[in-house]
Amino acid sequence: MFIPESYSLAVVLCIITMLCWGSWGNTQKLAGKSWRFELFYWDYVLGILLFALLSSFTLGSFGENGRGFIQDITQADSENILKAIAGGVIFNASNILLVAAMAIAGMAVAFPVGVGIALAVGVIINYVAAPRGEPVVLFTGLALIVAAIIIDAVAYSKHSTAHSRVSGKGIILSVSAGILMSMFYRFVASSMVTDFSIPEPGRLIPYSAVFFFAIGVLLSNFLFNYLLMKKPIEGETLSFRDYRNGNLKVHLTGVLGGIIWNTGMSMSIIAAGKAGFAISYGLGQGATLVAAFWGVFIWKEFKGASKQVNILITLMFIAYLAGLALLVYAGK
């Protein structure tokens, strides 16, 4: 199987993760305003599974390092398989909760609270479980990234007049989403081998772990997303007839979104062998910076913003870049 042989290559893979996790949301916009998120999400989940299969039978099966994908899944302990599946279930629950929180509380509250908690708690959890990197530098970088998320929230709040009130329900959903999102990565990581080149029996190689993670996302979607279709946060009740009414373009756009997201997930898990899970996860969550870039410069979400808001946006980008640089340096 393919595994990175140097820390530098691992950092490159983490940057790919950041780009993918921060960009997949554009596919939802491209699918069209009339195509509800609940319908988009079925294709998105299919894309996650398709990429897991593709990478498993290519990068995960060729080469002399480690174990091949088929050999790996046949020898894996059921406990480790269930851990990876559980990671997919937890991720799916957190992602859907975050979307629900955005519908109620707006992005100005839901995204910074949810992703901020996921980033801070997730890095701590993964570092405690598998410490790697200089802790002072690592957590200083983490603090800068969290500060950038807070600055982004303040800028969004000052620019938007649509979210003058925030419901308690929206806050609870945001916090719940963040806590769950901080845990999914550790479940997947705990199912994996400690040395990718010399994998111990019973545990999963990165490609197998991502495959079972995708299975968890798919299976849980029949519960979580179905409930959301029948009890939507906004809009009317949906049925699978609505899904079948979508054209080929919107379905393929959703699949592309899932492929992009899971490309990021796979690169992050593969990079963890050299970078460590805490740094790999933390760098990947720099996706907020990428998403902010898309929102500011491509979708013009801050068009007509005041001078004060523009200063805050600039500070946000500076703090994020400085924090990411420290995360990279911490792993050397």
Q: pLDDT band at 279, cuts 50/70/90?
A: very high
Q: pLDDT band at 180, cuts 50/70/90?
A: very high
The pLDDT of residue 233? 79
Q: pLDDT band at 157, cuts 50/70/90?
A: confident
pLDDT above 70: residue 84: yes
The pLDDT of residue 103? 66
Report which of residues 154 and 165 the model is more confident about: 154
Q: pLDDT band at 331, cuts 50/70/90?
A: confident
Mean pLDDT calculated for residue range 217-233: 94
HEC states along the chain? CCCCCCHHHHHHHHHHHHHHHHHCHHHHHHHCCCCCHHHHHHHHHHHHHHHHHHHHHCCCCCCCCCCCHHHHHHHCCHHHHHHHHHHHHHHHHHHHHHHHHHHHHCHHHHHHHHHHHHHHHHHHHHHHHCCCCCHHHHHHHHHHHHHHHHHHHHHHHHHCCCCCCCCHHHHHHHHHHHHHHHHHHHHHHHCECCCCCCCCCCCECHHHHHHHHHHHHHHHHHHHHHHHHHCCCCCCCCCHHHHHCCCHHHHHHHHHHHHHHHHHHHHHHHHHHHHCHHHHHHHHCCHHHHHHHHHHHHCCCCCCCCHHHHHHHHHHHHHHHHHHHHHHHHCC
The pLDDT of residue 107? 58
Mean pLDDT calculated for residue range 101-119: 71
Report which of residues 161 and 87 the model is more confident about: 87
Mean pLDDT calculated for residue range 261-288: 92
The pLDDT of residue 163? 44
Domain ranges in the chain are 7-330
Q: pLDDT band at 235, cuts 50/70/90?
A: confident
Mean pLDDT calculated for residue range 276-294: 84
Q: pLDDT band at 65, cuts 50/70/90?
A: confident
